[in-house]
Amino acid sequence: MFAQYTSSKKHAPMRPFILVSLFLISGSLSAQIFTEASQVPFPGVWNGSIAFADIDGDNDQDVLITGDGQVVHMLFVNDGQGNYTPFASASLKIVKRGDVAFADVDNDNDVDLMITGWCEECNSQEKTISRLYINDGTGNFSEVTDTPFKAVYYSSIAFADMDGDQDQDVLITGNISWGVSATLYKNDGTGSFTEVPGTPFTGIVEGTAKFVDVDGDSDQDVFISGLNDSLKPVVHLYLNDGLGNFTELGTTIKPLGRSSFDFADVDGDSDPDLFITGEFREILEIHYKASIYLNDGTGHFFEDAKNSFEGIVDGSVLFEDVDQDEAPDLLITGRNFTGQALTKLFLNNGQGVFDETPEVALAKVDYSSVAFADVDGDDDVDLLITGRTKEPGQPPTLVSELYFNQADSFPVNATEIVRFNSSISVFPNPAGNDFLNVMFTSVKFEPIEIRLYDSTGRQVFDMQTFSVIGINIISVNVKEKTTGLYFLLLKTPEKEVQTTVVIQ
């Protein structure tokens, strides 16, 4: 298959000229996108949540981690290079089976904090909490009292400006003392919230609600997946009229229990598509399912047939452009049908076709949470994973692992590195110890150069020739090259294209 974006980012349309296709295989390679940080102060947790934000105004990504485990500190500040130290904040309660989210609720240009979940350290009357904390700009948080928020656990939090008044409203779902809930709260711009009555949202537990503009009208719609008050899997999609009034839109997306999902424009057509995974029942049988649903631009989704993914439960999934090709890649964590915890990274070729890349360094976890952020200031996204991992014959271990992204280590001083959208391929890929063919279509006669670099950045091949108008096939000699991951660079006078090839 061909292979080549936390986030549901829009990315620039790809310019038509050349598409270099990337093929990847299973097994250990000599280079990985992510490498594990040697020492981190984070507690191992499961049933938790992660949120990155710059809490103290020093232009780097700090982090809050919650979950079930031996948690002493939840909040950690970054020195700008990805080194973290605990930041004591006495007012923050340690929670599990909940959610955390940062947002500037009072419009003072710093991030405030919402926490929901089960609080063991709270008094017996307040084990379930939903609390809002205001930041003083330096990372010191003060709890807001007398808020209208329902206390929830097995919960989710989603902030967005749902009514176009330039402030952050919030939708909170979860288990409440008398059932399940999905409640929308309107912000007056100062961080004071009121519950919005009469919303059509279906309450859920063990699920997630997210704001996303599915129909391209520049307002925030709502997607909900989880278990309803009968513990039946449900999915619901609600369209916003721009003023915060929501109407349900019917959908063919299959309801899944113990689900995880995320949105991103996977196929480059400027609308958010959906990946969702979880379980469903047919009569007495349980099945796991994972699918991409493509958006037609109006909020109507149809299941994609180009990709096949293993279904997982009790996990976390996230789109992010990990290899800097302006296409959203996909990270999946959780537990498969055989009970095996896993973590898989799939690279996107820019047209919505995903291939798994063997990231052997990543911890395989279930009951997990994942988050991307540039923690070391090198303009790529790094990765934090929490959850439970279990090796054969060993007791379960709780982990919180930080991984640095190495995708920008390819040593090319490119004036413009892009991926193009036309008819081209690199084959065979993986290549044997012989020749690799680069096939592409050129619109004019011009000089070109092809270079090959090994994983250390050493140039091992260089060819200068001319393209012809139409289809070109150029052979690259890879005889006597060691097995592993290589970087191929195709240059014209105006463009440079970079991709990855594997030699077996």
Q: Taking the domains of the chain in order of start, what are their residue ranges?
A: 39-409, 425-503
Q: Is the pLDDT of residue 419 over 70?
A: no
User: In this structure, which amino acid lies at residue 340?
Assistant: Q
Residue 346 half-sphere exposure toward CB, CA atoms < 13 A: 24
233 Ramachandran zone, left/alpha/beta (phi>0; psi -120 to 50): beta
Is-same-fold flag (39-409; 425-503)? no
Contact 69, 43 (CB under 8 A): yes
- How far is residue 373's CA from residue 363's CA, in Å, rounded to a whole number? 18
Average pLDDT over residues 18-43: 59
Contact 212, 263 (CB under 8 A): yes
Output the DSSP codes for 165-178.
Answer: SSS-EEEEEEEETT
Sign of CA dihedral 490, 495, 496, 497: negative
Structure tokens at 422: 């036309």
pLDDT of residue 416: 34
Tell me which residue has tokens 């030699």.
503
> CATH says 39-409 is which class?
mainly beta
Average pLDDT over residues 261-268: 96
CATH of 425-503, one of 3.30.565.10, 1.20.1250.20, 2.60.40.1930, 3.40.50.970: 2.60.40.1930
Helices (H), 239-382: none
Sign of CA dihedral 476, 482, 484, 485: negative
pLDDT tens digits along 71-88: 877 999 999 999 999 997
SS3 407: helix
pLDDT of residue 399: 96
Cβ atoms within 10 Å of 114's Cβ, excluding its own = 26
pLDDT of residue 13: 34
pLDDT tens digits along 315-361: 999 999 998 888 999 999 999 999 999 999 999 988 899 988 877 78
- How far is residue 39's CA from residue 52's CA, in Å, rounded to a whole number? 18
Cβ atoms within 10 Å of 324's Cβ, excluding its own = 18
pLDDT of residue 3: 31
* Nearest CA-CA partner of 373 in 84, 92, 179: 84
Average pLDDT over residues 270-286: 95
> Where is mean pLDDT largest: 20-29, 238-247, 410-419, 459-468?
238-247
β-partners of residue 263 are 274
pLDDT of residue 6: 35
Record the pTM.
0.78
pLDDT tens digits along 439-476: 877 878 888 888 888 877 788 888 888 888 777 888 88
